[in-house]
A and B are shown apart, each in its own frame.
Chain A
Amino acid sequence: MSRILIINDNPIAMKTIEVVLEKEYQDIDNAKDGKMAWALLKQKEYDLIITEMMLPYITGLELIFKIKKDATFKAYYTPVLIVSDIHEEDAVTEGFNAGANDYLKKPFDPGDLLSRVKKLLTANL
């Protein structure tokens, strides 16, 4: 069973992603900021990380940098999907450069989110 971590500071947005994913995945954790996410990543192993770009304490980008910095870290090979309302091309490029595997712009189609998640999880397996 795939374990997913959702990181988002907006409770409604986080709940929305969770409800969409719950149709197919049950093991979902969530973190409301970068610090909390980092603590969870140190404790548990995840198959997919879904993060927002703008987060309190540690931004989404900084978090990805931290994850991808050390190859011995257990989340190093975990695929990262950014779901953000930042639409600028520069931000998307920055996200990919940091090590994200996919970038989904808000507003998103739930079907699109599900298919991307499926694709990333399959690639991870």
Chain B
Amino acid sequence: MRSYSFYFDFLHRWLLLFQSLPLVIRLAIIVISASLLGGLIVYLIICTHHIKRNHYKRLKQQILPAIENMVLIKVIAHPHLDEMPAEALTLRIQDFVNLGFVSKKYKRKIFVACLRTLKRNLKGKEGRLIRKLYLDLDFDKYAFKELSASHSYKPLLALNELVFFEAPDPEGLIGRLLYSKNKYLKEKALEYIFKVYKGNVFEYFSQVTAPFTKWEHLHYFDIITNRKDGTLPEFSRWITPPYNESLILLCLDFTTYYRQHSAAPAIIELLQQSAISTELKCKLISALGQLYESEALPVLLDLYADEKNILVKGAILKALSNISGNETLSFLKQSFKKEASPFLKKHAARSILEIEGPEPVMDTLLEEATDAEDINALKHAMSPLIKYY
């Protein structure tokens, strides 16, 4: 009790002294104390991280050779590897458990990092056997547990690990992350669904409401086109107004990539609607061109006559280069002669060139052309060094 009152008196005296000081000095004391305290906290955090890192490094040096040796002997140099598929092989899991690195958090981390490095180096049977070892040791279960961690980076790291090892998710835990507020987590979860999930991954398209960013567009296109398994849906299902524009743009890319000609009616129907953006309109026209849809010719010609936007007109002229025929050619020649815009002239000239080749149509046009603008457009169209979109 005596010691408490001593401290109380001491603090009381200091408080009285503090109150008797001028306001500026009091403020200065508060600022200095706060910055000293802040500095101290930062220093302690740095020290903690430093200690943790050193501990991890030391631990790694100690246990990594044992893990490496065990994995290389039992997995890479497996005696029956050449005889049967990797999935059918049995690994002596107890040998790995006996190392004592599976249940301890940091040691497990080092083990997983080692498996990742090995899998990054090896594919084929050995690569699949490393994945099997990861799953047999139940490392995926620890990663699934991390998904519900409060730190934002922990679930992301865990998800990254699960995507890397293509761990199955029977409880659908990752599906829930598709609607996470954390955009990185959401993106990674979608990557998992597209890459790993063996069911109908495209059901997600029917549920998504938020638009994709340009980056997501590229990323998902890359993931889906690199998938080796699964059947492809008719992407025209999503080329209709209820779905958001970014999804329609992505599906148009898939339609042209997989040459889904059955999507043409849906594309034409959407094209004839007035309330669509210029970007989408150009993409729809370009898709018709890339699908070589001759049935779309009357629609495109009608649209060209009514359209005022120069970008859409340019897209039509460009798309026509893939729909060859006398009607197309005469229309392109007319457009080349009639249009005042150099942009449209160049697109018309380039499309004529792509349909007919450099001779004889281009030469005839060049002889007929009297206007300097026309000659310039033709020369540009014939130059392989000039590209315009």
Contact = CB atoms under 8 A, between A and B. Distances in A.
B is bound to A? yes
Given A12-B121, A19-B73, A107-B127, 10 more contacts: A11-B68, A12-B114, A12-B118, A13-B117, A13-B121, A16-B121, A16-B122, A107-B120, A109-B122, A109-B126
A85 interface: yes
Interface of B: 68, 72-73, 76-77, 114, 117-127
A115 B181 CA distance: 49
Given A12-B114, A12-B117, A107-B127, A19 B76 contact: yes
A109 B72 contact: no
Interface of A: 10-13, 15-16, 19-20, 22-23, 85, 106-112
B119 A107 contact: yes
A15 B72 contact: yes
A12 B119 contact: no
The 10 closest A-B pairs by CB, nearest first: A109-B124, A107-B123, A12-B117, A19-B72, A19-B76, A13-B121, A16-B121, A107-B122, A110-B126, A106-B121
Contacts of A110: 76, 122, 124-126
Nearest to B126: A110
Given A12-B68, A19-B72, A19-B76, A109 B123 contact: yes
A23 B77 CA distance: 8
Contact of A108 (B72, B73, B123, B125): B123
Contacts of B123: 107-109
19 contacts: A10-B117, A11-B68, A12-B68, A12-B114, A12-B117, A13-B117, A13-B121, A15-B68, A16-B76, A16-B122, A20-B76, A106-B121, A107-B121, A108-B122, A109-B122, A109-B124, A109-B125, A110-B124, A110-B125
A108 B127 CA distance: 9
A107 to B, nearest CB: 4
